[in-house]
Every structure is written in structure tokens, then in C-alpha cells.
Structure 1
Amino acid sequence: MESSALPSEFMPILRQALQAPAQPSLKNVSLHAMEEFSPEDSKRFKPIIDGIHFNMRFILSYQLVLIGLLLVFTVIHWGGRLRAWRRRRRQYSKKCQEQRKSPARSLLEREGAVAVESRSPGSSSSSCTLEGDATPPHKALEEEQDEQTPLLLKTQPMKLSTRRRLLTSKIKACLTYQPRPIPIINKTLPSNGSSLAIIAFLGLQIFYLFFKTPLSLSMLFVSADRASILFIANLPLLYLFAAKNQPIKVLTGYSYESLNIIHRRLGEVMCLLALLHSVGMTGVWYTLLRYAGITLVHFLLIKMILLGIGAFVAYELIYLTSLGSFRQRWYELFLASHVVLQVVALVLVWFHHPRSRIYVGVALAIFLIDRLAYRMSSKLTTLRASLDIQRDKKTVILHATLPLITHRNLLRTLFGKQDVTKGWKTTEHIFLTVPSLARKHIIQAHPFTIASPAPSAGDQEASLELIIRAQDGFSGDLVRYAKAHDSVAVRLDGPYGFQSAVQMLQDSDHAVIVAGGSGVAVAWPLVWSILETESSKDPEDGAKKTNKKGVMFLWIVREQSHLSWLGNEKLKELENRGVVLVIPPPTAACGHPDLERIVGDWITCFDERSKIGIVASGPDGMNRTVRNTCASLIEQGRNVSVEIEKFGW
């Protein structure tokens, strides 16, 4: 806009710009819309109109970029699954060939002593003898490879190949490493790999915010418009990342729990975009409209501006109530406000400007399909569950026996109920509602990992257990209720989740599982799942209850009484199945164990060429220690993969 443009002429062009159709230039705008302007005035305002039109065209490429990224991650995920499948097939074929070539040797392996040094509760030793009394397992593997492996595989790798592997190991270790929390504010940071992905996503937002965006005061309206149109373009993505039922999980392997961190960062970016849009439009009033006699009150009371202010306040409140400090202290208020404010904000944005309605419609459809059409109709189950107060008086075990629906056909699979009566998978979770606790709990749903092993194919019924630790709000009310009642009617929403950790351990030669406190709700079903999978591969080994995979399980508890969450019978069952079980002394009495030493010693017991999968579930500090221990081993060239299962958010 030229500096000679009169402020009084800006109000009509403001109305025209906000309602401008997607035309390439001003000459295509209808005459009656521009009847207030002379040809000379039209030339002065043409840059603003063209800037609005460019914003509308340019934002369409953003959707194409998102689709392209989705395709890339889909190819990466399914390519990895294909490679893992081929690797398992090669291992199975090799095993079959060995059994055919040397049946006597295979028989000796099955009948020979497999001495597993299991750890009784309270032991802190990290010895890793898995086979035999004195010979480390990796030596046995080397001897076997000396007899069976072709000589060509023993050729020394080239120096260039070695340098490449070292460089690859260093890069992977750097991406795996998790920095310490930010000082003072104690903000937990993700791994470097996750941080780089988030930074790249934020860079994409910055590019679309500033590309060919005029930054002069005369074009302030165009800059504010770019912020608003990027905001509404992100609306469907924001609600898609928050949806419990979404196609992204199937395509890329990332469940909504994994995408939750991007959902939060995107929400923060959108709040910033809304702020920039609001500040920009206020700047338009200050630099132009107030000289035309338009007061600030008059400007704010314009219907369109008033609706925009309401949407801005709603989304800022969503952000403030989503902060970790608020969410942990007033979780129930966070749940209720999150749902109500989202609906209110979408309605206000819908009426704020017609240009946003297609994006708002898609976002609202995602929200309603996920919350109502899918979760309410096909994921809900109501039943009665028993309540068992543990010895620490601060933990309750919720138990329910479910009859399973075993008869399935294509129509029921596609359109029938998909709740827990169809069973669940390892590491999946449900949302628990207990209406009888109080009125406020009728509409609240709290996530809990299913702490019991997943039912097997053909089971007629299943045992579902939840470990619930008393804190403020819902969990505290439930523990107090359990002290006077031995059962309660509950509503279960789920199951939800993805088995990336299970798949990683199944694709590994050895499995190490670390749990801290109630993180055992993830670890116990995971250990059992690995044992059952190995048994199903070789029925004779399953009957002998051996530990061919070399499963190691470390459980760190705060108090000795917490061992009752599983009980001595279940722990003894793990020992009988050959699991190396270590439960250090309670941290409340003896402090935290040396996790880095225990996990490091375990991993170094395995053959250097073995693929080792590690899963940790517990407090953030424990998870970070396990992840960084793995990062140091990866840097040394060990083939280690690590997954962190957070049991709270």
C-alpha cells in the first residue's frame, strides 16, 4: 500500500480483503464489490488483494507436503516390517536346515541342561549366565558359527565399510541419546531424534509463515492473514494427531501416544499463530483505522473481530490447561475443559470467517467420528470389576473376568464392536470410567495400561487387571472407595495402542525389559508375550520351559510391599520359564541401583553380532538412563534397539 493512501479508504478494502474470493488479481473482482473505489484507489490497494490471493493459493501446497511426508513414513515403516519378516524367514530356514543336517545335535540341544540363573526378589546382582554354568552365551554362539557358517562370511570387512559402520553407529547413538531436563523449569526433553523431527516440523511452519510474506507496516494485514490461514490449515492435523482411532497408526506404525508430543508442539505453534494474527489485526487498527475515527472498542465489537477474540481465548485456555504442571495437578479439570473448549473454539472459528469452514469441517468430523461414532459405539464396555487393596494401602488392583467373543466374520470384524471383549494386545491400554465414585467422574476417562497378559487365540474368557496408584483426584477417590467396597461398576473405553515394542523384541535375538514402579503394568505382559511367542515357535522348547531368547527382566520398586502387585507366584513363574529376574532392594531404603552398570553388563554378555531389544517403562529419570546406556553401547558398535513405554501422560 502506498503511503499516500488515505486511512478513510481502508475500511471498505478491509471488508473486501476479508471476503475476497480466490481470484488471481483485482480485475476479476466483481464491480459492485469495488464500486466505492476509483481506478487510482484500486491500484493503491492492489498489493493487499494480491497478497491475500497468494496466501490462499500458497497454503494448498502445505497439504501436498503433508501427504508427501505421510507417504515417506509409510514406505519407511512397511519397508522395515518387510525386512524384519525376511530376517525371521531366513532364521527359520537356517534352523530347519540345521535340524535336518544334524538331528542328533538338535536333540542334544533340547535335552541338554539349560541352567538359567534367575534372581530372587531383593537380589541386585547383574550376572548374565544364560546357558551352562560357566561358559558365556556368546562363546557358544561363536563355536556354533565356526561349525555352520560358510568360510566366505569370515572374510575381513574393508576399512571403508568399517568406517561407514562406525559413522552410522555414532549417528544412531546421537539420535538415541536423551539430554537431561532443562534446568530451573525442569522440562523433560525427548531423545535427540525426536527433537530433530520436531525442529524439522517447526521449520516447515516457519517456512510457510514467512515465505514471500511482506513484513512492512503497510502490508501488515497480509502478514496477519498468512498467520491465520496457516492456523486453520493445521486444524485437521491437530485433531488427527489427538484422535485415538486414526489411519496414521496403520500406515506409519506410530500410534497416537507416539504422536502426542507432535500434537502438543503443534498446538503450541497454533496458539502462537493465533497470537500473531491477533497482534497483526490490532496493528492494522492502530496504524490505519484509528486515524479514520474507529475507536478500539468499536473495532473489537465488530462481529467478525469479536468471534475471532473468542476463538483466540478458547485456544489459549486449551494451551494453558494442557501444560504439564496444570495437567498433573488438576487432571479432571484438564479432561473436561479440553473437550468443551475444543468444541467451542471450532464453532467460533467456523463463524469467524467463511474461508476457514472447510478446514473446521474436516477437523470437527475427525473429532466427532473419533469421540462419538467410533469410541462411544464400538469401544465401550460396561462391567463389574473387583477391587483389591494392596499392602501399601495406596494401590488398588482392579480385576475383571471377561467372556471373549471368539466367533468372527468379515462383517463383524469391519463393523462390529471392537472393545475388550474381542481381546487385547500386549502394551495396549484402556480408558477407565467409574461413575459411582462421584458425579464429576461420570464423564471422565482415565488411561491405564492393561497389566495382565493378552489372551491367546481360542480363549473363551480373559482376565483383565489394572494397577492403580493413589494420587490426587480420580485415583485417590478410587482407592478410598476400595477400602469400603470390594467391587464396582466400571466403563472401559478401548483397547488402544500399538505393538511397536512387541514387534521390536520379537525381531531381536535377545530381550531386556526394565520396569520402574507401576511401569510393571507394561513390563509383565511384555515378558509373558515374548515367552509365549517363543513357545509357539517351538512347542518342545515351550514344554521344557526354556529361555532360548535370553529374556532379562529388571524391576525396580520403591517399597518392598510393591512386590505384591504381581505376587510371589507370578515372579516364581517367570523364574520357572527361565527369565533372568533381578529385583534390587527397594529404593526407599537403599537408594537407586546402578542401572547403567546392570543394563550394560547384561548387554555385553551377549554375542556382539546379536540383535538386542530393550524396553523400559517407568519414571522419566529411569527411562533416560536406560536410553543413554543404550546410546553408549550403540556408539561402540553394538546392535541395540530401545523403546520407551511411558505409562502416564
Structure 2
Amino acid sequence: DLTLFRDENTKYPEQVWYTLAAFLFVIGCFQWGLFLHSKFARRGHHEFDEETTTTNGVHKKFSLRRIPLAVINFYRVVAFRWTLEIGQSYTLNMAEVFVTVAYIILLLIYAFINTTSVEGQTLDITYWSNRIAMLASSQFPIVTALGTKNNPVSLVTGISYDKLNYIHRMTARTCFMLLWVHGAGHIVSDPYEPFLRAGVTAMVAFSILIIVSLRPVRSNIYEVFFYVHFLGVLIFLMGGYYHTKGAHGSYWIWPSFVFWAFDRFIRAVRLVVFNHSYFGFKSGTGTMDAATEMLSENVVRLRLRRPQHFHWSPGQTAYLIMPSVSTLPFEAHPFTIASFDSSLLSTPSAEDQSSAEVTGSSAPFWKELVFLVNVQGGFTKKLKEVAAKKEAIKVFVDGPYGPSPDLGSYDTCVLVAGGSGVSYTLPVFLNIIERVRKGKSSCTRVVFIWSIRGAEYVQWIEEALINAVQLAPPSLAISIRIFITASSSNTKAIPERTVVRKNSLSLSFLSLRGVRTENGRADLDTLLKEEVDVTSGRMSVGVCGSQGIARAVRHALRFPVSGPSSILSGGPSVTLHVESFGYA
């Protein structure tokens, strides 16, 4: 019986791993298949669409040939647009709910099968208590890997680290639950074993880690979370290693250190390569420093330059390390890159670049790294104090990270942003225009929707929008919808010099083709339904902003707007990408 007990403790965790590996392989095949399909879809999708639409874009009659596409869109709506709301902080789509429930059930099945002792006692604590510990320990490598920026799961599945971060938290919390069940069983049966000290220490660290990782805590005191996470994981893994060493379970733990060390090594190399002047490899250290500027009461703009070999794509993020601003020297805070790495869009003149002060919309958004930082508390509050003085600061850039949306095969692209969420939608908008100019995109219509509190916020991106629209080919229909949610009496004043600069460009901005400004909140249900009604082929919707905006877009693209009936009647196949705000 003891031999069987040990054999099951070894075999069952391995079987869980085989199940997870098979699942990841299937997801990887699906993701890479979609990637390859998107690369070749642009070549032939128009011929198919012409059979279901008229020349003016109005949908034609019902077509059974579109059943496969209707099934795909049904899956998209159910899996990613139906959500489970947990308070004000958590929103889980049905795909996340399914993965969570399936993962917990998988571990519980392996934990409690074959737990009847030779004496006939069912659910014998001796069996399931130790097995639960082995199952939880076997998950530590994948939990660690999912929490790193450079991980094998992203390589296999094609899913970026930020999208996997929910799975990282979910698997960690599931293991936390299992380990407390294991610990309670052992404390009840024999609380005085010496090896329990290491286990208790590990669980205390794990418990603190779980508390600070809750979103309300994590978002409000990110710096505390950052360092507690680092120290808590180290203490937990060390304690777990010594706790399981006698039970021959430590071989599940040491790979976690390997994954963590590999990620840190890659990030360290990138720091040196992309910030080389700071490390003494070349002269010109000051040229890498970031210029700071207050754009509004609660938004700071950072502008910095990097070497020619630093490239990024629209929608990617970078981790910024600012030793002079942060509490400790190597805090890394994630922000979306708001600028566009382009060789087509022209840069400002040399005279503009040599100006001592660059204000408002005159900042070049296409040849340098630009970040729009939403001021909250802690680190960003300190950064605001620096920006108020317009001081230059040393910034180490770690990145870029994350995927860039491939929109080349879409007929219509809709971009929705709220406030500083324009950091994501602006580069994507500029990229669409560039690719259409180069003949690398089949997009015929792009809609840019931005909700802001005050009209003066337009200055953040005014110059970039003016230049981009003027360069856009006539074949590309452009609609820029600006929604101003605050009344004029509630709008805070901005510096007089910036107002003058803004007003000098307002006429140019308002005279652009497709520009429309409105007071009040955007009715996303109506706006998106209108776009679906006039669109055929493929339609992409990207959103970046508050959870409220993301929820509104998901709701607008549910049934019947993006359902099977719409697809079968010739409506567009709609994909949705929700870019969450950084968790700093």
C-alpha cells in the first residue's frame, strides 16, 4: 500500500502535466493557424464577400455558405464577450471562467481518486493530503513561467505574456487553496514535525502574496506589491523546497528558479543593449534622458530617444525604470508606447527639434518613444512632481513587450479609447494609414473614437492626427469622433502658452476630413451597430480604456449585432481586442 501510495504521488502530477501540455499544444495550433490565416486572408476574401453584398455595402440575402463563419463568430461572442462581473474590480470572460473551472476540476479529480485505504476508509486523509501537496508543487514551474515576460508558454501558444497573466494568477490561487487543504490536514494529524517549519514559513509568505496580489491592493499600492511579490515568491519557493525535500518533491520546485533566472537574464541583456550609454559603452548619456511635461492635471508625457536598433510595433508596451523617481532603484512600471516607429511619416523640421521647449501637440509622435502616464498615486504621483518642474530624468527602457494587432486583412477598423488609452489606439491608427499607403492593407475605412474629459486633451495628439490624415490616401475613409464628457465649467485650466499653441491648430484639426466633436458620452452601442450595418467582409474593433469602456464595447458586440443571424445575412465577421490598462 505504501508503494502504491508513493507511485500515485509521482504518477498523477505527471499525468496532470501531460493533460496541460496537450491543451497548450491544441491552443498553440489554433493560434498559429489563425495567424497564418490572417496573413493569407487578404488575398482572396473580397471575392467571397462580393457575393453577399451590393456595391454600396448594403447586405444582401441570407447565405448558407457563411455558416462556418457564423459558427466562429458565435464562439467569439460566447467565449470573449459574455462576461462574469465580480464587484467593480473583476471581469472574467467565459473563456477565462471555463479554463478556471476546468483547471480546478482537473486537479481535484487527481487529488481525490483512489483515496480509499486498504482498511476500506474512503477519502483517507493520508492519501489525499499528501497527494494534494504533490499536485500543487508540480504546478509551481508553470505558475512561475506564466508570470515572466519571456516564457515558453507564449512561444508555444502565440499568446502574449499579458494575456497569460490571468492564468498565472488563477493557477497560483488554485495552488494556494490546495496547499492550505494539505497544511490543515497535517497540522491536525501531527503538528510537531520539524519539517513543518519550512512549510509554515512558505505558506505565510504565500498568504501575504495572495493578499497583495488582489487587484484593488495591487493597483493602489503597486510599489508594495512589486517588492512583496519578489520577496514573497523567493521565501515561498525556498521554504517549499526544504519542506518537500524529504518527500522527494523538490524536483518540481527548482525549475521555477530556472524560468525566473532565464527571464531576468533576457531582461538584463535588453536593458544593456537598449540603454547602452547609461552603462558606459558609448558617449551621449544625456541624450537618452526623458523630457517630462504635464499635459493636464493628471497626465504626464515622457519623451525619450533610443538607438536606431530599438524597434517597436503599435500597441506594444515597455517597462520603465526611473531610479530618481521610484522608491527603490529598480522598480519597473509598464506603460503603452504612444509613439509610432515609422519611416514613412515625416519628422518635424530641424528648427522644431532644436526648440528649447516643445509644448502641446508639437511633439513628434513617430520618431521617438512617447509615454502618456495617468497620475494616480505612489510612483506616478512622484513623477507628476518632477514633470511640474519639466525636469529631465534618467529612464531605463525594458521592452518592447506584447503583440501588435495585424489588421492588414480587415476592411473596417474601429479604434475606441478613453483618456490615456489613446496611447494604444493612436499608433495603431497611424500604422493603418501607413500600411494602406504602402498597399499592404485592404482596409477601406478606419474609425477613431476617443472619449476625453476636456477639449484641451485633443492637443496631446492633434499634430499626429493632422499629419496622418493629410497623408492618408483618398481611398481610405476616415472618421474621427471626439467625445468631450466634462462641461466647460468643470474643465481645469492649462498653461496659457499651451492654450495659444492649441488654438492655433484647432481650425486645422476641425477642418480635417472626417473629424467630428461632440459633448457627452459616446453611445458605443449605437456607434458600433452603425459600423456593422454599413460594413461587409471583416471588421476589427480595438479598445483601450477603463473597465467601463471595455464592458460597453463587449456589450455592443454581443448578439444580435455580431451574432450568427447577422453573419448569415452578409454582415461582417467582427473580432474584438481589449487592451487593458497597465496594472501599475
Q: Give the structure with the higher percent helix.
A: 1
Match of 2:549 among 618, 622, 635: 622
Whole-angstrom CA distance in 2 between matches of 1:261 and 1:447: 16
- The verdict on how the C-alpha distance between 1:162 and 1:425 changes in structure 2, with shifts beyond 3 A counting, is closer
Pairing of 1:320-335 with structure 2 (within 5 A): 320-335=211-226
Q: In structure 2, what residue type is equivalent to 1:305?
A: L
Q: In structure 2, what residue type is equivalent to 1:513?
A: L
Match of 2:146 among 241, 251, 271: 241
Q: In structure 2, what residue type is equivalent to 1:278?
A: G
Q: 1:181 matched to which residue of 2?
A: 85
Whole-angstrom CA distance in 2 between matches of 1:588 and 1:251: 49
Whole-angstrom CA distance in 1 between matches of 2:4 and 2:294: 68
- The verdict on how the C-alpha distance between 1:431 and 1:214 changes in structure 2, with shifts beyond 3 A counting, is farther
Whole-angstrom CA distance in 2 between matches of 1:142 and 1:395: 41
Q: SS at 2:4's partner residue? A: helix
Q: 2:242 matched to which residue of 1?
A: 351
Q: SS at 1:452's partner residue? A: coil
Match of 2:382 among 468, 473, 477: 477
Is 2:31 the partner of 1:77? yes
Gaps of 5+ in 2: 279-287, 348-365, 489-518
Q: 2:526 matched to which residue of 1?
A: 597
Whole-angstrom CA distance in 1 between matches of 2:308 and 2:27: 35
Q: 1:140 matched to which residue of 2?
A: 55
Is 2:467 the partner of 1:573? yes
Q: 1:378 matched to which residue of 2?
A: 270
Shift of 1:175: 2.3
Match of 1:644 among 560, 578, 581: 578
Q: 1:561 matched to which residue of 2?
A: 456
Q: 2:398 matched to which residue of 1?
A: 493
Match of 2:260 among 362, 367, 378: 367
Alpha-carbon contact 1:441-1:474 (below 8 Å) kept: no
Q: 1:403 matched to which residue of 2?
A: 307
Whole-angstrom CA distance in 2 between matches of 1:469 and 1:211: 50
Alpha-carbon contact 1:327-1:334 (below 8 Å) kept: yes
Shift of 1:452: 0.3
Q: In structure 1, what residue type is equivalent to 2:267?
A: R
- The verdict on how the C-alpha distance between 1:516 and 1:553 changes in structure 2, with shifts beyond 3 A counting, is same
Whole-angstrom CA distance in 2 between matches of 1:142 and 1:606: 6
- The verdict on how the C-alpha distance between 1:347 and 1:252 changes in structure 2, with shifts beyond 3 A counting, is same
The aligned length equals 503
- The verdict on how the C-alpha distance between 1:85 and 1:570 changes in structure 2, with shifts beyond 3 A counting, is closer
CA offset digits 1:455-502 (Å, max 9, x no partner): 449999940000012110000100101222431111111111112xx1
Whole-angstrom CA distance in 2 between matches of 1:554 and 1:166: 27
Q: 1:512 matched to which residue of 2?
A: 414
Is 2:170 the partner of 1:265? yes
Whole-angstrom CA distance in 2 between matches of 1:324 and 1:348: 26
Q: In structure 2, what residue type is equivalent to 1:140?
A: T
Shift of 1:250: 3.0
Whose Rg is larger?
A: 1
TM-score (norm 1): 0.72
Whole-angstrom CA distance in 1 between matches of 2:214 and 2:100: 18
Q: SS at 1:492's partner residue? A: strand
Alpha-carbon contact 2:374-2:380 (below 8 Å) kept: yes
Alpha-carbon contact 1:452-1:525 (below 8 Å) kept: yes
CA offset digits 1:598-622 (Å, max 9, x no partner): 1211221213xx1111111111111
Q: SS at 2:305's partner residue? A: strand
Whole-angstrom CA distance in 2 between matches of 1:155 and 1:551: 26
Gaps of 5+ in 1: 1-46, 99-137, 146-153, 286-295, 406-420
Whole-angstrom CA distance in 1 between matches of 2:291 and 2:529: 41
Alpha-carbon contact 1:52-1:222 (below 8 Å) kept: no
Whole-angstrom CA distance in 2 between matches of 1:432 and 1:245: 17
Q: 1:582 matched to which residue of 2?
A: 481
CA offset digits 1:356-384 (Å, max 9, x no partner): 3222111110011112x111122452531
Match of 2:429 among 513, 516, 527: 527
Q: 2:341 matched to which residue of 1?
A: 454
Alpha-carbon contact 1:556-1:584 (below 8 Å) kept: yes
Q: 1:387 matched to which residue of 2?
A: 292
- The verdict on how the C-alpha distance between 1:508 and 1:280 changes in structure 2, with shifts beyond 3 A counting, is same
Shift of 1:139: 4.5
What's the C-alpha RMSD, in Å, of the aligned pairs?
A: 3.0
Q: In structure 2, what residue type is equivalent to 1:586?
A: T
Q: In structure 1, what residue type is equivalent to 2:202?
A: A
Q: SS at 1:140's partner residue? A: coil
Alpha-carbon contact 2:42-2:408 (below 8 Å) kept: no
Q: Segments of 4+ in structure 1 off by > 6 A?
A: 161-165, 457-461
Pairing of 1:422-433 with structure 2 (within 5 A): 423-433=311-321
